[in-house]
Structure 1
Amino acid sequence: MTDRLPHEKGFHISWDQIHRDSRALAWRLDGQGPNGTPWRAVVAITRGGMAPAMIVARELDIRTVDTISVKSYDNQSQADASVLKEPDPELMGDGTGILVIDDLVDSGKTLALVREKFPNAHFATVYAKPKGRPMVDTFITEVSQDTWIFFPWDMALQYVQPYRGT
């Protein structure tokens, strides 16, 4: 156990960075649908997966986008994952041809819950931590398990004291 606060080993992501990394994810997924067919739809895991899913859908020209709402964090504390809203069952089937997108796989609990519901979907995240990597099919950047990722939608601009005082 460390005495370090979550922000002390932080990885700060800007809007530009999430856009670049999400485009890289789209490029990696291009042409990777089942048997070389196009992806049928993108399903964003809300809330964090919404921005990357929008970018991936745009880059791959996928017009069908839905969401699955899963709560697995309470502020900066992980909790048991639970589904709050499911995507259209007719669209989803067993998940074949569906891209399920999230910003990050951390422990893998969220993706395990969604994968149980849609076992044939393709799971992609922009960032991955080691514990969750087995649950994701495609990702762009791996970060250490003890790194806290600060996403741009969670941040605000504010004054910061200089390192060596005032």
Structure 2
Amino acid sequence: MTEKLVLDWQTFHKACKRLAQIIPLEKYDGLVAVTRGGLVPAAILSNDLDIRLIETIGVQSYQQQQQGDLQLVKPAYLLESELIEPQRWLFVEDLVDSGCTIKFLKQFYPRADFACVYAKPQGAELVKYSVEQVAQDIWIDFPWEI
């Protein structure tokens, strides 16, 4: 990564609000925050879309700004239930980079949709909703990482 984009809370919050505006109301029963990056945008989307059912799934691929092998750190137990249709879940992430995390999750939840606040070219086509496009070689420092 050659450049850094350092985001403050206000900039990130405004981007999340714009993301909420392009997601159809009442299309989803629940949100799945992909931890850790998806926690903050999922909370904002939850308020704006009036969705109270939120699950988390833990997938890790970055260590010290280096992308490595994917690891499932916490499964989304509720999603294993037959009670809720998987197509009604919206997975939420702060960023889609190479798309490896989303491809990994789509193996288990092929009918789920994905929303990311920021999208890089290599992974952008994998998400249904995103609002900010950034170059592939930019490293983003999110407010909770500073």
The gaps in structure 1 that reach 5 residues or longer are 1-5, 32-36, 156-166
Counterpart check, 1:128 vs 2:119:
yes
Query: Which residue pairs with 1:78 in the alignment?
Result: 67
Query: With CA pairs under 8 Å and 6+ residues apart, which has the higher RCO, 1 or 2?
Result: 2
The runs of at least 4 aligned residues of structure 1 exceeding 3 Å deviation read: 91-94
Inter-partner Cα distance in structure 2 for 1:80 and 1:137: 24
Question: How many residue pairs get matched?
Answer: 144
Aligned counterpart in structure 2 of residue 12 of structure 1, from 6, 9, 15: 6
Structure with bigger gyration radius: 1
Tell me which protein shows more strand as a share of its residues. Answer: 2
Could you tell me the TM-score, scaled by structure 2's length?
Answer: 0.92
Q: Give the fraction of aligned pairs with identical amino acids, expressed as a percent.
A: 37
Report deviation, 1:64.
Answer: 0.3
Query: Which residue pairs with 1:153 in the alignment?
Result: 144
Could you tell me the TM-score, scaled by structure 1's length?
Answer: 0.82
Report the residue type matching 2:54 in the other structure: V
Report deviation, 1:12.
Answer: 1.3
Alignment of 1:1-166 (within 5 A): 6=1, 9-31=3-25, 37-87=26-76, 88=78, 89-90=80-81, 95-155=86-146
The gaps in structure 2 that reach 5 residues or longer are none
Inter-partner Cα distance in structure 2 for 1:82 and 1:118: 16
Please tell me the root mean square deviation across aligned C-alpha atoms, in Å.
1.6
Inter-partner Cα distance in structure 2 for 1:80 and 1:92: 32
Q: Deviations over 1:104-159 (max 9, x none)?
A: 0001000111111111111010000011112211101110000111101111xxxx
Rate the CA distance shift 1:91–1:49 in 2: closer, same or farther, 3 A: farther
Query: Which residue pairs with 1:161 in the alignment?
Result: none
Report deviation, 1:9.
Answer: 1.1
Report the residue type matching 1:107 in the other structure: S
